[in-house]
Amino acid sequence: MKELVYICSPLRGDVLENQQRARGFCKLALQAGYIPIAPHIYFTQFLDDDSPEERAQGIEAGLELLKLCRKMWVFLPPGGKPSQ
């Protein structure tokens, strides 16, 4: 079985651009032989990141997925400051 890698990259700010960048990171991971896990791409399809309750649900679910991964790739935004 291929190894899972958790893709960690910004979402807030320019959400559409950040989702596009995250999709690119996932493609890189797949091309490198990993199975990318990027909850911030798919959870935001049905959860509202501007709702504190739904954001907390998404974070909690993402942390559960992280437990399945042995690796995490962290991509900082242009300028290098992580989002919160």
The overall pTM is greater than 0.85: yes
pLDDT, tens digit, for every residue of 7-21?
999 888 888 999 999
Distance CA 78, CA 72 (A): 19
pLDDT band of 82, cuts 50, 70, 90: low
pLDDT at 13: 82
Sign of CA dihedral 77, 59, 7, 21: negative
Q: What is the pLDDT of residues 20-42, one digit of tens each?
A: 999 999 999 999 999 999 999 99
Dist. CA 4–CA 54, nearest whole Å: 25
Q: What is the mean pLDDT of residues 50-54?
A: 95
Residues 9, 40 contacting (CB under 8 angstroms) = yes
